[in-house]
Amino acid sequence: MRILVVEDEKKVASFLKKGLEEEFYAVDCACDGEEALYMVEVNNYDLVILDIMLPKIGGLEVLKRVRKNGHGLPIVMLTAKDSVEDIIRGLDAGGDDYLTKPFAFAELLARVRALLRRREREPLGELRVADLTMDPLTHKVSRAGKEIELTAKEYALLEYMMRHANRVVTRTMISEHVWDYHFDPMTNVIDVYVNHLRKKIDQEFPHKVIHTIRGVGYMLKG
């Protein structure tokens, strides 16, 4: 899943980016409201973490414009303001959730997971395709009871494919949701990582779950 963090305090933005990447999310950062609006328009994000106090264009105005432009992606608001009026103003402007600073990173993660599940209509708990299972909370992956060790990017790619099981996912879809703003679409990196997954997940098993849809992309199916 790909997340945009909009935060003008560099230390906070760096902390959030590092923590989210450790949870296998692809993360971009914007430092002001103007940059945030541009990035939402040119990229395909699964969720936005939006600070309310921003330079150039304030967070509430960013929120209103994003909704006005028809973007329905989940937005978590961050702010030092904790009055009931501020919370109501943010939610009425189109925010999906609200956290006041300082906050526990674990709580932010829980809210992010909840919003992403709601958007993808995924049930709480493990993901399963045939005998391949993934626990989004512990990040453990196993097939037929055998635990499989994955790198952070392999895990992120597999999670995206499992959340879209039995559907074709194109290379463009994968790049937009698994890689960040710096991804070079002219490389064959996606194919390389799919091959890594095949070796770890399919190679030792007679039934293959990763399928190439020639000229289109890939499909994970049981």
Tens-digit pLDDT profile for residues 100-114: 988 999 999 999 999
Q: Which of 65, 98, 120 is the last residue of a domain?
A: 120
CA distance 40 to 62: 10
pLDDT at residue 124 is higher than 80? no
Instruction: Give the percent of the chain with pLDDT over 70.
Output: 97
pLDDT at residue 211 is higher than 60? yes
Q: Which of 87, 120, 153 is the last residue of a domain?
A: 120
Q: What is the count of structural domains for the chain?
A: 2
3-state secondary structure of 183: coil
Task: Specify whether 111 is located in the same domain as 132.
Answer: no
Task: Specify whether 93 is located in the same domain as 137.
Answer: no
Task: Specify whether 7 is located in the same domain as 95.
Answer: yes
Domain harbouring 105, CATH code: 3.40.50.2300
CA distance 119 to 29: 22
Task: Specify whether 75 is located in the same domain as 142.
Answer: no
Question: Which domain range does residue 31 map to?
Answer: 2-120
- Between residues 14 and 186, which one has the greater pLDDT? 14
Task: Specify whether 17 is located in the same domain as 94.
Answer: yes
Note the pLDDT tens digit of each residue in 15-34.
999 999 999 999 999 999 99
**pLDDT at residue 121, rounded to an integer:** 62
Note the pLDDT tens digit of each residue in 133-151.
999 888 999 999 999 999 9
**pLDDT at residue 126, rounded to an integer:** 86
Task: Specify whether 131 is located in the same domain as 211.
Answer: yes
Domain harbouring 198, CATH code: 1.10.10.10
Read off the pTM. Answer: 0.81
- From residue 21, alpha-carbon distances to 30, 47, 195 in Å are 16, 14, 22
Task: Specify whether 105 is located in the same domain as 8.
Answer: yes
